[in-house]
Each structure stands twice: as structure tokens, then as C-alpha cells.
Amino acid sequence: MQLRFPYPDAQHALVAGVDEVGRGPLAGDVVAAAVILDPERPIARLNDSKKLTTVQRERLFELIMDSALCYALGRASAAEIDTINILQASLLAMSRAASALTVQPGFIYVDGLYCPRWDYPSKAVVKGDSKVDCIAAASILAKVTRDREMEAMDAAYPGYGFAQHKGYPTAQHRQALVTLGPCAVHRRSYKPVQLAMRQPQ
């Protein structure tokens, strides 16, 4: 991990990290989290959620919720993704997460190339979930939340294997799309879903 405040303009502000998960899946919401960590209660071994095991993510998820000064979630639905595209939907979800913080930050680090259009002083950090602790914490909250939601979707929409692949375009998922057709939570603007919709059922 690099320093919590890698940019000088964040040194004296209450700092949040924001990240999202779920750009690649063919189904479900894109989910974002915003986290303000407590400097008095540091959390060890924060990292990009994709580099952690399920057990590590679950443990850190509980620690973050217990130790953070403040955290919030935001999302954009499959219908919103289809309407405004996945990049804009991801930025919208991140903006919603930041706005939902009950303690508002003076500075925000955002994972990736772009910051949402908002009034917060902010900095986009490429691979920020591996570099900045508060972004890593946000990535963990968002990932665990979305994974749990997709497991619940598996019960609501059986046959697609959502609990296993979390909506990502695995061979199993693509075959289920062909066999069953899209369900209510599929992103109809994504090509594999569009192709499945054209298949005779």
C-alpha cells in the first residue's frame, strides 16, 4: 500500500475513497461504495478486492463497517446502464455513494481514470484500489455487497448460475442465456444478451 494521502491537496481534508464493481457482468446493478476511514483505527491488509480471497474480503468487510468513520453505498440499475451506458452508470453509482455519506468529505479519491461530475475536490487514481487505503476499503464493501446480491438473484432467477459467476459472461452464463433467454436483471445493451434475445426460444 502507498500512503493514505498520496496527493498534497488531500493532506488536511476529511478524505473518502470511492470505487465501484460490476462493469463487466451481463446482469445486475453496478454497485459503488464510499468510505471515510478512521486514522485512529487503522485496518491492516487492505487491498484491491479482486486480489483478496472470499474469506479475506468477508473479514475486511466486517472490519471496515465496524471501524470506518463513515461509509455508504450507491448503485445504478441494469435499466439505467442500458439507458446511459456502463461508464456513465458507474460514475452515477459513485456519485450516489458519496452523496449518501452521513459525514461529508472534503476530498475524494476515485478509482480509475475519471471522477464523477460533482462539487467535491477529488482525484482519479489509476489502480487506486491497490494504492490508496480508503479506495481499497470502498472496493471491498462494493464487491462483497454485490456478490451477496447476485447470490440472492440466483434464488430469484434460477438456472443462470448467478451465485457462481456473479453475472459475469462465463460459458455457463452464456449458455443459460441461450437456453432461458434474458431475465429481468440482465443488461439488454450488452452484446451477449442482445444475441440471446434474437435466438428462437
Distance CA 51, CA 47 (A): 7
Taking residues 22-47, report their average pLDDT: 95
Taking residues 20-34, report their average pLDDT: 98
Q: Specify the length of the chain in residues.
A: 201
pLDDT at position 198, please? Answer: 76
pLDDT at position 9, please? Answer: 56
pLDDT bucket at 66, cuts 50 / 70 / 90 = very high
pLDDT at position 1, please? Answer: 39
Distance CA 197, CA 201 (A): 9
Please count the other Cβ atoms lying within 10 Å of the Cβ belonging to residue 102.
Answer: 9
Q: Which single residue is written with the C-alpha cell 471491498?
A: 140
Mean per-residue pLDDT over the chain, rounded = 92
What are 129-164's pLDDT values in tens digits?
Answer: 999 999 999 999 999 999 999 999 999 999 999 999
Distance CA 50, CA 122 (A): 24
pLDDT at position 197, please? Answer: 85
Q: Domains in the chain, start-ordered, CATH in brackets?
A: 8-155 (3.30.420.10)
Distance CA 187, CA 169 (A): 12
Distance CA 194, CA 188 (A): 6
Is the per-residue pLDDT at 3 higher than 50? no
Query: Which of 11, 9, 55, 61 is CA-nearest to residue 33?
Result: 61
